[in-house]
Amino acid sequence: MLRFLLPLLATATLAFAQTSPSMQRPYGLVIHGGAGVIQRNQMSPELEKEYRAKLAEALHAGYAVLDRGGSALDAVIATVTVLEDSPLFNAGKGAVFTADGLCELDASIMRGDTLQAGAVAGLRHVKNPIKLVRDVMENSPHVMMIGEGAEEFARSRGHERVPNEYFHTGFRRKQLERAKEKESRANNGTASVPLDLTSPGVGGEDWFSREQKYGTVGCVALDRQGNLAAGTSTGGMTNKKFGRVGDVPVIGAGTYANNATCAVSSTGWGEFFIRSVVAHDISAQMEYRGMDVADSAASTLAKVAKLGGDGGVIVLDRHGRYAMDFNSEGMYRAAKISGRPEIVAIYGDEPRR
Ligand code: ASP
């Protein structure tokens, strides 16, 4: 009798596990479109609608990949590509201008199962840096490539390349003009770089045009196989000079993923995020101190704030628990985890998890 019952029981249990949402492994993704001074009274209803629609479009592009069993890595690339192609965000088309009036792009990606990573900095012609970083990771022995060398690698791998003008937008051009005017006022007409980047009102805020929302984009994803991945892409900061590179292509600062802990993508004032090694610090707090995603994100951001920096992070763990935390006024953000309600948010008083 038992001989017949046991297989039946096993089949029934398996069928239940496959159909019951509570028994299924969670999967999904969290995205950001940059943190900064984002306030209701500075945003027209039309523009707000555009931002929310584009965030939702990017979220759904990544979720569709995960839903049909695709990898976290593929979901990150699908999502970030939508955001890079949109002029609304500071990545790909719509990137901020350097002091020389060019767009220079940085990006990185990491997978949580193998801890492989790829990064690029100072790109001027690659249409989608998020696609190139995957190639750096998978088809080169390196982790990071910069400038002309990275462009050459992109050419050799057949990536779509565009004139720098493709990235330019009038909105970012105005931001550059305003930043230059402020810089010139702060430096009494000279265009030198202020040494003190931390004292409000002295030089840092002007040089970095801190009052502008930053607009970097990023994504952390968890697939049905339980693997995590993270990716981030940016034009950096308005009026950047001297080949300045921020945290985004620095693995452990702008991007980090480890199946044992979490996947992280950062946005904010890059110099502070590099010094605080933000993405890895969040992972390390989970690994060494047993903290959860929300507490480790808050604790690391508090360290950034103590140094004088601001910005935000998205963090996702293997159980689908996530945080979208920031110490700036707002952060473009969205999340969709299987079996849970979808969130698209912008302002400080909207949900963070
Ligand atoms: N973190 C980026 C950078 O410093 C800027 C941003 O997040 O928007 O380059």
Q: For the residues of 10-32, what is the DSSP string, one character each?
A: HHHHHHHHHH-TTTSPP-EEEEE
Q: How far is the CA of 3 from the centre of ligand 1 (A)?
A: 63
Kind plus residue range of the DSSP H or E element containing 50: helix 45-67
Residue 340: Cβ within 10 Å count: 13
Instruction: Report which ligand 1 atom has the smallest distance to the Cα of 235.
Output: 9
Residue 89 contacts residue 219 (beta carbons within 8 Å): no
**Span 124-137, average pLDDT:** 98
246 within ligand 1 shell (Cβ under 6 A)? yes
Q: Which residues are catalytic?
A: 216
Reported as a pLDDT band with limits 50, 70 and 90, residue 213 is low
- Provide CB contacts within 8 A for 300, sequence distance 6+: 276, 278, 281, 282, 285, 313
Taking the mean position of all CA atoms in its chain, how far away is CA 266? 5
Residue 326 contacts residue 297 (beta carbons within 8 Å): no
Q: How far is the CA of 265 from the centre of ligand 1 (A)?
A: 11
pLDDT digits (tens, 9 = 90+) for 24-59: 899 999 999 999 877 788 889 999 999 999 999 999
Structure-token pair, residue 156: 């050799």
Round to whole Å and give the CA distance between 306 and 302: 6
Overall fold of domain 26-347:
Glutamine Phosphoribosylpyrophosphate, subunit 1, domain 1 (3.60.20)
pLDDT digits (tens, 9 = 90+) for 140-182: 999 999 999 999 999 999 999 999 999 999 999 999 998 888 8
Round to whole Å and give the CA distance between 348 and 327: 9
**Span 228-256, average pLDDT:** 96
Of the listed ranges 154-163, 188-197, 322-331, the one predicted with least confidence: 188-197
Residue with tokens 């299987």: 338
Round to whole Å and give the CA distance between 161 and 303: 39
Reported as a pLDDT band with limits 50, 70 and 90, residue 200 is very low
Q: Is the pLDDT of residue 292 over 60?
A: yes
Specify the pLDDT at position 42.
81
Round to whole Å and give the CA distance between 283 and 101: 37
Round to whole Å and give the CA distance between 104 and 87: 15
Q: How far is the CA of 248 from the centre of ligand 1 (A)?
A: 7
Reported as a pLDDT band with limits 50, 70 and 90, residue 212 is low
216 within ligand 1 shell (Cβ under 6 A)? yes
Nearest CA to ligand 1 atom 7: 267
Reported as a pLDDT band with limits 50, 70 and 90, residue 6 is low
Which sequence spans correspond to the domains of the chain?
26-347
- Provide CB contacts within 8 A for 74, sequence distance 6+: 65
- Provide CB contacts within 8 A for 34, sequence distance 6+: 89, 90, 213, 214, 215, 216, 217, 267, 331, 332
Kind plus residue range of the DSSP H or E element containing 136: helix 129-139
Structure-token pair, residue 74: 């593929």
Among 84, 216, 265, the mutation site with the greatest number of ligand 1 atoms within 8 A of its Cβ is 216
Among 248, 272, 326, 327, the mutation site with the greatest number of ligand 1 atoms within 8 A of its Cβ is 248
Q: Are strands 144-146 and 117-123 parallel, antiparallel or unpaired?
A: parallel
328 within ligand 1 shell (Cβ under 6 A)? no
Specify the pLDDT at position 196.
47
Q: How far is the CA of 91 from the centre of ligand 1 (A)?
A: 10
Residue 255 contacts residue 279 (beta carbons within 8 Å): yes
92 within ligand 1 shell (Cβ under 6 A)? no
Q: How far is the CA of 268 from the centre of ligand 1 (A)?
A: 5
270 within ligand 1 shell (Cβ under 6 A)? yes
